[in-house]
Structure 1
Amino acid sequence: MGERKDIELSKDLHLPLDAVTQTFAFLARRGAGKTYGASKLAEGMLDTGAQLLVLDPVGVWRGLRLAADGREKSFPRQLPTPSLRS
């Protein structure tokens, strides 16, 4: 991880590394692949060593931390620590 010079979304589609600082939106009908496309972008960003934050209130991004076999851990996951300040 951290060695790529671009973000690979598929064999034929790569984004420049500076895409990690851009804003993206995935808009489509239900079942069209928004989560899949966004997760491929996230995985590509993680492959470059970038950090990202995913807010996932319904749990559809759970598999991002798993390898393709669904068992092995792939990317490290850190849960935010709540602030103790009042």
Structure 2
Amino acid sequence: MNLKVVNKKVFVVSDIHNDADRFKLLLEKIDFAEDDILILAGDIFDRGNQPIELYFEILKHPNIQVIQGNHDVWLAREIMEKSIDY
């Protein structure tokens, strides 16, 4: 990841664990804007029950950078293993 940060707010968050509702509240609370940068530092998925809603919320924001955490890697591996079975 190569980020040039000049006159921007940068936020780092981790361990969202599929909680789309709280993630949206977080974006509101920090007043997340187009000029800001949010780095999601792992464990975005797994555990909670809103993975699809969370995924599409993240995709709405091109200024969100994602770093996979161990839970994200485990989930991706499980999805890949199950897709091979089909």
TM-score (norm 2): 0.30
Higher helix share: 2
Determine which structure has greater relative contact order: mean sequence separation of CA pairs < 8 Å that are 6+ residues apart, divided by chain length: 2
TM-score (norm 1): 0.30
Higher strand share: 2
